[in-house]
Structure 1
Amino acid sequence: MAVTLTQFTDPFCTWCWGAEPVLRRIQETYGDHVELAFVMGGLVDDFESFADPANGITEPADVAPHWEEATQRHGMPVDASVWYENPPQSSYPACIAYEAAEFQGTAIAHRYLRRLRQAFAAEQRNIGDREVLVELADDVGLDLEQFRAALFGDRARAAFEEDRRYMHEVGARTFPTYRVTTGDDEVQLRGSQPFERLSEVLESAAPGLDRQSPRSLRSFVEEYGPVATREVAEVYQLDDEDARRKLTDLTAAGHLEERARGTGSFWAVTAND
């Protein structure tokens, strides 16, 4: 039975960035038997009118301490200086850009969303800037003429508004929120979730859902790279120190390269490996 795991999300959300290791483990554990989907929620329309009193956020610079605290819990690299030096004013352009990418296929749109998250969270890229959004589209191989037409036209904005209507309709008010769907059956989970909870709901919704072992570490990095140390730790059930040790060994052997970013590192296959 087909099962879909939908994440209601926003490229600004640090907890959605922190969920990347769990999503990687879902992909490696269930493969094509679980379909991943993303719905853009639009976290910040405009910082001129946005406020999050619960987290003490009334202007962009207030987000930096929130990110720094969050990374201590979720373990994904962040560089919070973007909020002081080059903050975006709205998450809507990035949400609309994801919709523009999706017109070229789900798989490449997912790669683009990952690129958006990483560029913003760990590389100080202002993903409220449309030209930055185009540069990131080029990074993942999107057709730029088609992408620009969708981004600067009406289709992607309309798709984003449809996502927001759907999010409101199902009562998803927290980022991330997850929705597991099989046929007419749906289960919704609010907030960040560990792999164990998501797998419990997935396997209950689709009895007989088979688990598989993850591919080799080098193959994993080749498939998804650049990957963060925390992602490797989650997928291979290691602590961060052991994960880093295995990645360092592959780097010393010439298979990988390390890229330090913000509070952590990413790993990618070397160009000539």
Structure 2
Amino acid sequence: MTVLYYMHDPMCSWCWAFRPVWDDVRQQMPDSMEVKYLLGGLAPDSDLLMSAETRSMIRRHWQVIEKKVPGTRFNYDFWSRCDPRRSTYPACRAVIAAKNQNPMLEDAMIQAIQHAYYLNARNPSDDEILIDLAYSLSLDVSRFKNDLHGADTQAELMSEIRTASNMGCTGFPGLILEDRGAFRHIRIDYSDAGMMLQQLSSVQAL
């Protein structure tokens, strides 16, 4: 089967901007293609608060995205309500923990993290936020807590990061199509699902 790999991080702001078009791609892509998610892991675990310089840089980054991808919204209250840390691995492990309980909830956890972070000004670097999201998805919260920092979950995250890197992923979001043993990068478009669907169809027609 042909596989479309989606490389991402649940706390990647460009992945958030790509979300609406990515949903369209998934809904319209050929049934013969399987989608597999690979976590890229933007920032390792850290208890250090972001510096004022880093906070300012990310705020400016959000503003750039809002201009380049109309319709993308960010809740800037995050910067006054939360104590931001440059740490996305907890959110990545939350996605794995959810998927391991129910593969159908992998994308639901990604979306829940994105909504918490970008719309509701909640910090997905904090365990209590991730646990609350697990509860909202009706996951086994006790198991989720154990898995969130479990060795097996961390090992799976590092394996996905290595796989994405070995496939040539250099940024997020990323799309790579595996077809008949060959890997082909699919050019990302933040406004036009049709452009990416055309690329997928062209590869299959070869």
TM-score class, shorter-chain normalisation, is: 0.7 to 0.9
RMSD of the TM alignment (CA)?
2.6
1:200 shift after superposition? 1.8
CA displacement 1:56-112 (0-9 Å, x = unmatched): x94234211211221232222211231343123311110111111121232211111
- Corresponding residue for 2:204? 206
Q: Specify which structure has the bigger relative contact order, considering alpha-carbon pairs within 8 angstroms and separated by 6 or more residues.
A: 2
- SS for the counterpart of 1:135 is helix
- Corresponding residue for 2:15? 16
Paired-residue identity, %: 24
Greater Rg over alpha carbons, structure? 1
Inter-CA distance 38–58: structure 2 relative to 1 (3 Å threshold):
farther
Distance in 2, Cα, partners of 1:144 & 1:33 = 35
Distance in 1, Cα, partners of 2:126 & 2:203 = 40
Aligned length: 202
Inter-CA distance 153–47: structure 2 relative to 1 (3 Å threshold):
closer
- Corresponding residue for 2:125? 128
After alignment, is 174-183 or 25-34 more displaced?
25-34
1:78 aligns with 2:74: yes
Any unmatched runs of 5+ in structure 1? Answer: 52-56, 208-273
TM-score by length of 1: 0.66
- Corresponding residue for 1:99? 96
Any unmatched runs of 5+ in structure 2? Answer: none
- Corresponding residue for 2:183? 186
Distance in 2, Cα, partners of 1:13 & 1:206 = 30
What pairs with 1:246-265 in structure 2 (closer than 5 Å)? none
1:188 shift after superposition? 1.4
- SS for the counterpart of 1:103 is helix
- Residue type of the alignment partner of 1:196: G
Q: Is the 8 A contact 2:109 2:133 kept in 1?
A: yes
CA displacement 1:95-130 (0-9 Å, x = unmatched): 111111121232211111111111111110100001
TM-score by length of 2: 0.86
